[in-house]
Amino acid sequence: MKYDIVLCGVGGQGILSLSAFLAKCAHSAGLQVKQSEIHGMAQRGGAVVAHLRLADKEIYSPLISEHSADMIIGMEPLEIYRYLNYANKATKLIVSAEPVLNIPNYPPLETVLEPLKKARAFLLDKASNITLAGAASRFIPIEAKVFAEVLAEFFARKGQKVLDKNLQDFAEGKNKL
């Protein structure tokens, strides 16, 4: 078994935190994990991308080949276009439908969303990175209890209120699909 995920968005959306969370879930489930990230201009709202590879045997490269991603998680609808070359007909597209208007000529939102709808993307309104993780968890080959345990571990030190909010976001994403 192998499962390759491309995660993309803009700086400040939590792409790298989401990648770290999913990597920890996979590791806790006993899977091999390789991760790669690019975040050059992330502090200024620039593009951020991470590759996350999970497998039950050794993984030799952290990078995902074009047309071979099992899933692409997009925190920003326009950003996902940069990485659609990693998709194939079976790739799951999990996308936050809320744009980050960080460029002056951002196209009309419906123009951006229409091709994603045609590609059968799962569009979630106002989705946090943990909401997208919940939606993605329906397809990632890891048991549900592992996600819950790692989520509790990730947010326990931030207090019960923050943990409860993230548990709620995760459940909301999982139940939206």
Q: Which is more confident, 168 or 47? A: 168
Give pLDDT tens digits for 15-38: 999 999 999 999 999 999 999 987
Query: Which pLDDT does position 9 carry in this prediction?
Result: 92
Mean pLDDT estimate for the chain: 92
User: What is d(CA 126, CA 123) in angstroms, rounded to the nearest whole number?
Assistant: 10
Q: Which is more confident, 44 or 108? A: 108
Most confident of 17-26, 93-102, 151-160: 17-26
Query: Which pLDDT does position 66 carry in this prediction?
Result: 97
User: What is d(CA 177, CA 140) in angstroms, rounded to the nearest whole number?
Assistant: 14
Q: Mind listing the domains of the chain with CATH numbers?
A: 2-176 (3.40.920.10)
Tell me the torsion sign for CA atoms 117, 119, 124, 129: negative
Average pLDDT over residues 9-15: 89
Quick check: 50 pLDDT over 90? yes
Quick check: 53 pLDDT over 70? yes
Query: Which pLDDT does position 91 carry in this prediction?
Result: 96
DSSP 11-35: TTS-HHHHHHHHHHHHHHTT-EEEE
Give pLDDT tens digits for 104-148: 899 999 999 998 898 889 999 989 999 999 999 999 999 999 999
Cα Rg of the chain, angstroms: 15
> Counting beta carbons within 10 angstroms of the beta carbon of residue 144, is it exposed (0 to 12), middle (13 to 18) or buried (19 or more)?
exposed
Average pLDDT over residues 3-7: 98
Quick check: 45 pLDDT over 80? no
